[in-house]
Structure 1
Amino acid sequence: MEETKMGKYHELAEKIVANVGGKENINSLTHCITRLRFKLKDESNANDDILKNMDGVVTVMKSGGQYQVVIGNHVPAVYEEVVSIAGLSGDTEEESSGGSIFNRLIDILSGCFQPFLGALAAAGMVKGFNALLVFLKLYSNTSGTYTMLNGIGDAIFYFMPVILGYTSAKKFKLHPMVGIVIGSALCYPAVQGSALQAVFESTAGAGAAAPYSLLGLPAYDTFLGIPWVGGSYTSSVVPVIFIIAFAAQIQKLFKKIIPEVVQTFLVPFFVLLIALPIGFLVIGPIISILTDLLSSGFQGLMSFSPALYGLILGFFWQVLVIFGLHWSVVPLAIMQITQEGFSQVLTASFAASFAQTAVVAAMFFKLKDKKIKALCPPAIISGIFGVTEPAIYGITLPKKKPFIFSMVGAAAGGLYLMLNQVTSYTMGGLGIFGILNFINGEDASGVVNGAIGIVIAVVVAFILTFFFWKDDVVEEEIEIEIPKVMNKDIITSPVKGTVASLSTSKDDAFSSGALGKGVVISPENGKVVAPFDGTVMTVFPTKHAIGLISDNGMELLIHIGLDTVQLEGKYFETFVKQGDKVTRGQTLVTFDKEAIEAAGFSTEIPVIITNSDDYLDILEPQQKEINLNDDLITALI
């Protein structure tokens, strides 16, 4: 049965793609509850009439720069087939939202990370599994088994710029393969800081201090005589995103000035030749300077007040992870443990992964989006082992408030840990296994306080999310059916005239939609006919309005003029009474249009479906001028 469904959807999708002008005519595609919303390069290439008469398509509408193909309640399944047939990317379903800089930044970060969340979660689970087996002493961290599993789990993190090069290129509309090359260049060994130091020592002598070290920056070489500051870009996040954003602008510029026949290779040539040197010469050094400034700030704050340090670092730790700036703190901890045998630099951040994991656990019980909900279990497992990127980028950050709750929980845990002077004596396992870092010989008090810190962070984050966050997604049960002509009621026009949206009515009760959905008709003459087969429910004593119900249950109000109730029936003549059966096109009312207007009343006629909430969608006509018995409104059931 499922194969039959999918085959039928595939056939329908093929016809739709062909008749919107082919996949080469599609710029982007989204969908709502009933409609495929295309942005076409040239709408004149679409075959309107063929689509309107196609089995499985209700109608075609053009609005707001979109070419809308109305499908019905099985539109999500048809959308998936169209995406596949047209070779579109799923991430074109929504474009970047506008709004504040903060909201746009979150949109960019989420858009760059969401495509590989599944792989990221899997890698975190592999690393956690490997750490568990080492902890259980099934093998050592020097064995070949550990090395292989660590490589499998660590690869996605080590080559993060390559992956982000691809996803951010799609986000910024840069050619994805060019994005991969940019990400790969950032991971190329010869451009890393240690490699540049070797270059400098080979010319200046072993152990020589590079001049840039006076500024606390990595080693450097020169590019066309310009000092080139080296840095380690493997596992980094921010540099590649900024370089890709810049490269996208370069691509846009050169596409305008390079002939199309040679754009395939010349545009990428200039993009790489310009964007990467700028990245290495400008973006990388700026990130290094920001990292060093942040490191100095953390050291000064911890000396001033450990408790305040615990609150601030705990609260902002996950923000630092997002921007890759947490590496400004990690080297300090490594240096202290190497020189002194202990460190408190990272203590305040220890509870952050557990707070993030607790938030995801709470969201699991409240999420309505099944796709996001399915990401929660692997994100929780990954978070327990200290890898929270899947939770941050795919689940909590896009929802905003849960991410803030995780920051509050992390701050509470960080405060407790710093107040109790919990100290790390090794840079060992992540997540739950990180608690072993607090063992000092026979003294296990650090482990106890570390566990209490975890509990505080988890409880605070979970309670805040569970009781103070509500998913804003409206859950909709969508039944997938074999495509067919949509069940619908069609209202033909009861009046000849000019059609406008109901919102343009001069009467607030009608224009607000409070009485239902519909249209307004400016009549050309004084004749009103039945728009469907049905029954007369009401004929107002003043004859200016009539209520009908169709044989299919549609309730309709035809209101002739505004405030014409004051005429008390003058200039109106009715031909039916309450309870009469009527057929489509039968005369219901006539009125003297000129006399009513001369009396100072508007003759616009609202035609309103009063039970419009019973319908899936109400489609207004595309044409402005309409004749008696022309299709006026389509109501989808």
Structure 2
Amino acid sequence: MAENRDIAKEVIEAIGGEENIASMAHCATRLRIMVHDKEKIDQERIENTDKVKGAFFNSGQYQIIFGTGTVNRIYEEVEKLGIAGSSKEEVKEQGKKQGNMFQRMIRTFGDVFVPIIPVLVATGLFMGLRGLITHPEVLSWFGLVPEDISANFILFTQVLTDTAFAFLPALVAWSAFRVFGGSPVIGIVLGLMLVNPALPNAYAVGNGSAEALMMFGFIPVLGYQGSVLPAFFIGFLGAKLERALRKRIPEALDLILTPFLTLLIMILLGLFAIGPIFHIVEEAILAGTVAVLDLPFGIAGLLIGFFHQIVVVTGVHHIFNFLEIQLLETRGVNAFNAIITCAIAAQGAACLAVGLKTKDKKLKALALPSSFSAFLGITEPAIFGVNLRYMKPFIMGLIGGAAGGFFASLVKLEGTGMAVTVLPGTLLYLNEQIVFYIVANLISISVAFALTWTIGFNDKMQQELKKAA
């Protein structure tokens, strides 16, 4: 296998040389490159380079998949060769005008929500661990019953599990200000204003133990604990307003007037207009999501399990982050997670079948690590590096995802968090659901693997692909 330095040289040459690179950055698994001329890229040479697990254009960027860890080492070698790196934000900025309006909108939505996902992942894991520790059967192993658990311990776990969602508007507004060019600290304060304890608590209003304040006799004013859309649009408009004010206010007064006017105008709009309007929109979207997930006879799992990875291929799957956050905020559980776990596991199984069945050493070396990556929740190497190349394994994976999703929907599997799936996702089901979670994954894996092994792949397909290239 080639050295990382040689691979870096090969990649630079294959994309048209240093002069064809406008900017380059990397994420957890991929090099993200903006090029001047797409026609200069030698796609076949890129795909045949050692350690490359796939390459494609997405969101205006040429993305080369190397996988977790490997991409960092390749990027270091690229920098040593004199290619100046850019931040992911700079690469994204150059790619913002790429794609249609819907793709650009979803990409921007993703830019806002992706940075706050880690804390929501941690919150979900805390919920799962609390469910395990407080489960009656687990307590019985130590001769305890639920009544033996200290009230102080429960309070401590509530700090871990409730904080992120209680102050979710602050996280969303902070991220929106950051993405749209405002001062993030103003976003944080605006978000905190939306959940100020002086306002009627949204959860209390929802369960009838408190009433919203009626301003001017017809505008309901309340806190927006757990809300997403009001904070998103307040952050979007607030950042635009702040930038406009800075251009017009004299520098001597900027420090005082800009934050003052931004906070004053935006909290008035937030509580009296943006909040009430988008809260209604948010409830309608949630109702639609719940209606789909509550479809009888496992239909939701069948549909979502089949189509989820197709949406991932299109690059607009970040919209699901918003839906999952809404589910967790309102229901405390996430039925969507269990279904997409099945879709991800199935693609990993299809890739594994290719890796075990092929006699080609390069394909085997690509497929086996890619399948493991999918079982950890990252399907891009498996999809773009293997399954989509031969198409049939990808389709077999879709069928496997539908089968597992169908079962997950039938037994009403619901995770305690989001953004972790398959093996790491087990931590979200450390309760009476754990057996069903394992079975759902096994169904997805078994169906996808069996179909790919029997009718979804053979080495003749690889030979035909090489001839076609």
TM range (shorter): 0.5 to 0.7
Aligned in 2, Cα 1:284/1:143: closer, same or farther, shift over 3 Å? same
Residues of 2 paired with 1:434 and 1:452: CA distance? Answer: 12
Matches within 5 A, 1:131-150: 131-135=131-135, 136-137=138-139, 143-150=151-158
Q: How does 1:595-606 map onto structure 2 within 5 Å? A: none
Q: Would the aligned equivalents of 1:428 and 1:436 in 2 still touch at CA under 8 Å?
A: no
1:103 equivalent in structure 2: 103
The answer to whether the 8 A contact 1:220-1:229 is kept is: yes
Match of 2:345 in 1: 358
Q: 1:133/1:278 Cα in 2 relative to 1: closer, same or farther (>3 Å)?
A: same
Q: Which residue of the other structure, out of 263, 277, 280, is the alignment partner of 2:268? A: 277
Of the two structures, which has the highest relative contact order with CA contacts closer than 8 Å and spacing of 6 or more?
Answer: 2
Does residue 253 (structure 1) correspond to residue 240 (structure 2)? The answer is no
**What is residue 289 of structure 1 aligned with on the other side?**
280
Q: Distance in 2 between matches of 1:293 and 1:405?
A: 34
Q: State the AA in 2 paired with 1:323.
A: F
**CA shift in 2, pair 1:247/1:144, >3 Å:** same
> Is the CA contact 1:359–1:462 (under 8 Å) kept in the aligned structure 2?
yes
Pairing 1:289-368 to 2, within 5 Å after superposition: 289-294=280-285, 297=288, 305-312=296-303, 321-324=320-323, 327=326, 349=336, 351-352=338-339, 354-355=341-342, 358=345
Distance of aligned partners of 1:191 and 1:309 in 2 relative to their CA distance in 1, 3 Å threshold? same
Go from structure 1 to structure 2 and tell me whether the alpha carbon gap of 1:170 and 1:311 turns closer, same or farther (over 3 Å shift). same
Corresponding position: 1:162 with 2:170 = yes
Deviations 1:260-306 (A, max 9, x none): 22112211222122223222333333333234434655677789854
Number of the residue aligned with 1:455: 442
Give, as a single letter, the amino acid of the residue that structure 2 aligns with 1:221.
M
Native 8 Å contact 2:113 2:172 kept in 1 = yes
- Show CA shifts across 1:525-577 (max 9, x none): xxxxxxxxxxxxxxxxxxxxxxxxxxxxxxxxxxxxxxxxxxxxxxxxxxxxx
Counterpart secondary structure, 1:229: strand
Shift of 1:108: 1.7
Judged with a 3 Å threshold, the aligned counterparts in structure 2 of structure 1 residues 437 and 423 are, in CA distance, closer, same or farther, namely farther
The aligned residue for residue 477 of structure 1 is: none
The equivalent position to 1:221 in structure 2, one of 193, 214, 218, is 214
Counterpart of 1:473 in structure 2 is none
1:390-405 alignment, distance < 5 Å: none
Equivalent in the alignment of 2:196: 188
Q: Take 1:398 and 1:173, find their aligned partners in 2: how far apart are those partners?
A: 33
For 1:223-622, list aligned pairs within 5 A: 225=216, 227-230=218-221, 233-294=224-285, 297=288, 305-312=296-303, 321-324=320-323, 327=326, 349=336, 351-352=338-339, 354-355=341-342, 358=345, 411-418=402-409, 422=411, 432=426, 434=429, 436=431, 451-457=438-444
Residue pair 1:302, 1:309 contacting (<8 A) in 2 also: yes
CA contact (8 A) 1:220 1:230 kept: yes
CA distance in 2, matches of 1:229, 1:397: 48
Identity over aligned residues, as a percent? 24
1:91 corresponds to which of 89, 92, 105: 89
> Please, which runs of 5 or more residues in structure 2 have no aligned partner?
1-21, 27-33, 35-76, 309-316, 356-368, 389-393, 418-424, 458-469
Aligned residues of 2:165 and 2:329 also touching (Cα < 8 A) = no
Between structures 1 and 2, the one with greater helix share? 2
> What is residue 112 of structure 1 aligned with on the other side?
112
What SS class does the counterpart of residue 225 from structure 2 fall into?
Answer: coil
Q: Distance in 2 between matches of 1:76 and 1:235?
A: 47
Does the 8 Å CA contact 1:193/1:230 hold for their aligned counterparts? no
Give the residue type in structure 2 aligned to 1:272: L
What is the CA–CA distance in structure 2 between the aligned matches of 1:235 and 1:397, rounded to whole Å?
34
Contact 2:349 2:449 in 1 (8 A): yes
Name the CA distance, whole Å, in 1 between partners of 2:213 and 2:395.
39
Tell me by how many angstroms 1:396 deviates. 11
**Alpha-carbon spacing, 1:114–1:292, altered in 2? closer, same or farther (3 Å):** closer
1:113, CA displacement in angstroms?
Answer: 3.7
Q: Secondary structure at the match of 2:442?
A: helix
Q: CA deviation at 1:165?
A: 2.6
Per-residue deviation, 1:176: 1.4
3-state SS, counterpart of residue 198 of structure 2: helix
Is the partner of 1:191 in helix, strand or coil? coil
Task: State the one-letter code of the partner of 1:322.
Answer: N
Report the CA distance shift for 1:457/1:133 in structure 2 as closer, same or farther (over 3 A).
same
How does the TM-score come out when normalised to structure 2?
Answer: 0.52
Residues of 1 paired with 2:221 and 2:96: CA distance?
Answer: 35
Give 2:176's aligned amino acid: S
Q: CA deviation at 1:452?
A: 3.4
Q: CA deviation at 1:173?
A: 0.3
Give 1:162's aligned amino acid. A
After superposition, the Cα gap between the structure-2 partners of 1:396 and 1:167, relative to the gap in structure 1 and judged at 3 Å, is: farther
1:171, CA displacement in angstroms?
Answer: 1.0
Aligned residue pairs total 337
The 2-side partners of 1:236 and 1:164 are apart by: 9
Residue-by-residue CA offset, 1:53-108 (whole Å, 9 max, x unaligned): xxxxxxxxxxxxxxxxxxx953589957xx9xxxxx76345415222233223322
Larger Rg: 1
1:196 CA displacement: 8.4
Change in Cα spacing, 1:176 to 1:258, as seen in structure 2 (3 Å) is: same
| Deviation, structure 1 residue 312 | 4.9
Contact between 1:197 and 1:220, CA under 8 Å: does it hold in 2?
no
Q: 1:193 to 1:103 in 2, by over 3 A?
A: same
